[in-house]
Chains A and B, each alone.
Chain A
Amino acid sequence: MNSTTTHFVPPRRVGIYEPLHQFGMWGETFKNNIGNGGDMNSPSHIIIPNYQQIENNNLSEDTSHGTGGTPHMFDQEASTSRHPDKIQRRLAQNREAAKKSRLRKKAYVQHLETSRLKLIHLEQELDRARQQGFYVGNGIDTNSIGFSEPMNPGIATFEMEYGHWIQEQNNQICELRTVLQGQVSDVELRLLVETAMKHYFDLFRMKSAAAKEDVFFVMSGMWRTSAERFFLWIGGFRPSDLLKVLLPHFDVMTDQQILDVCNLRQSCQQAEDALSQGMEKLQHTLADCVAGGRLGEGSYIPQVNSAMERLEALVSFVNQADHLRHEALQQMNRILTTRQAARGLLALGEYFQRLRALSSSWATRDREQT
């Protein structure tokens, strides 16, 4: 499984300056970036991990006392003691290298500072965009620099998995589209159809796990784009609506098929109405519960356990709604031929892609107006 902390930048890593760590880093990184004007013949000052030695220009290969250092020192010590001008040259090179080191370090620190400011700025933008309803998922936590709210790791995992799910979905839609444009055998199509169906079932499984972690999160649809959220019904799409939308896009259907699809639409509608009624009752009883006792005296919910129990029921509603979606998809698979099912899944997938694209267009449009 994915690590739940990979998306999260702990505050302490940003802004804290660890000389030892930085030295190794910027030495390597900036050798190439800034252009290594340093003398390749005397790289020993880079290998030595003690930062202090550079500042004090302490490094000197002609100290024959051979203190610690690198093996490199010992090699040169023998040769330089007999050649004073070499010593001078080495010292000069040292000074040069140290100066360049300092400049590189300064450049790196400045780079870090600007990056940090940019990061803060980006996160603020992200926050603003999120408030406007633009989908900003994948577990990006806008509080990583400021105060952090502990994010539910189960939900963080779900958001990450959903990001992958969308990517895989896009791939499958692409493949379906390509394959249907050419000649393809029924056997191959069946495989694609089964894969696509299983992909949807995977999503329902993911949602069920997420609902156990935080049912309100799943119900809110915050993990979806704004236009998709507009059509949200108990944490997902409404099967009868989708059937209505997709019906005209099917190829020629037999009379029996048309009858079956109409019956399916009707039974979906009835099941949806039943679940909606249940949800309404849940809202009413919860409201009664919350308003119980005396309001206006600064007291808490008298029967808070009962209120909590009601909220537990919400999880089963989300599960039942997903179960309904699952069954509806399976029934369509039974009614249609393989080719029809493939086209149907392609149409369904593209429908949601269009909704997601609409959300982006809308969010962009908002920004232009401000």
Chain B
Amino acid sequence: MQYRTETRSSLSSYNKVNNMGMFPSDTLARVESMAAENAVVIFSVSTCCMCHAVKGLFRGMGVSPAVHELDLHPYGADIHRALLRLLGCSNGASTSPGGLPVVFIGGKMVGSMERVMASHINGSLVPLLKDAGALWL
């Protein structure tokens, strides 16, 4: 199942605005394709405890996410950098050091643990999961 990725257009405009000419576009393409592989995709670090928490959250809801451990991935560092750019600098100290985990649902970026939890509490996460086919009623 392929997901319409909305990240491409937002990424290219982001590129223009922030003059990220030096940023390899194939990394972004890689991120996009990885994000499109599954209904729920988590970019994580194997030793990170907040990443462990987000994995637990989805599994506890009966969702099986695709997890990419960037510290064990050949292009992990590049992908990590790309994700940080996508997240922007606004997250500050509330995210765990390093900005991970980052969650994609239905090919679209949801964000860090904070965003995921906020959307779960305000009730928007479950519909999102259902739309992506990750949850069946």
Contact yes or no, B56 A328, CB < 8 A: no
In the complex where A263-B123, A320-B113, A331-B122 touch, is A274 in contact with B97 (Cβ < 8 A)?
no
In the complex where A316-B93, A316-B97, A327-B117 touch, is A277 in contact with B123 (Cβ < 8 A)?
no
Contacts of B10 in A (CB 8 A): none
Contacts of A278 in B (CB 8 A): 49-50, 52-53, 56
Contacts of B122 in A (CB 8 A): 327, 330-331, 334
Contacts of A310 in B (CB 8 A): 49
Q: Which of B60, B95, B120 contacts A316, CB < 8 Å?
A: B95
Contacts of A264 in B (CB 8 A): 121, 123
- The minimal Cβ–Cβ distance linking B80 to chain A, given in whole angstroms, is 16
Interface residues of B in 18-53 (CB under 8 A from A): 47-50, 52-53
Contacts of A268 in B (CB 8 A): 121
Number of interface residues of B (CB under 8 A): 25
- The minimal Cβ–Cβ distance linking B94 to chain A, given in whole angstroms, is 5
Q: Which of B50, B52, B56, B121 contacts A327, CB < 8 Å?
A: B121
Contact yes or no, A275 B121, CB < 8 A: no
Contact yes or no, B93 A320, CB < 8 A: no
Interface residues of A in 40-87 (CB under 8 A from B): none
Interface residues of A in 225-279 (CB under 8 A from B): 260, 263-264, 267-268, 270-271, 273-275, 277-279
Q: Which of B47, B49, B114, B120 contacts A267, CB < 8 Å?
A: B120
Q: Which of A208, A315, A324 contacts B117, CB < 8 Å?
A: A324
A317 within 8 A of B: yes
Give the total number of A-B pairs whose CB atoms are below 8 A apart. Answer: 86
A interface residue count range (under 10 / 10 to 19 / 20 to 34 / 35 or more): 20 to 34
Interface residues of A in 305-354 (CB under 8 A from B): 309-310, 312-313, 315-317, 319-320, 323-324, 327-328, 330-331, 334
B109 within 8 A of A: no
Interface string of B93-110 (1 = CB under 8 A from A): 111110000000000000
C-alpha gap A260/B122 in the complex (Å): 10
C-alpha gap A138/B49 in the complex (Å): 34
B54 within 8 A of A: yes
A212 within 8 A of B: yes
Q: Which of B52, B57, B96, B114 contacts A323, CB < 8 Å?
A: B114
Interface positions of B (Cβ within 8 A of A): 47-50, 52-54, 56-57, 60-61, 93-97, 113-114, 117-118, 120-123, 125
The 4 closest A-B pairs by CB, nearest first: A278-B53, A274-B57, A327-B121, A277-B56
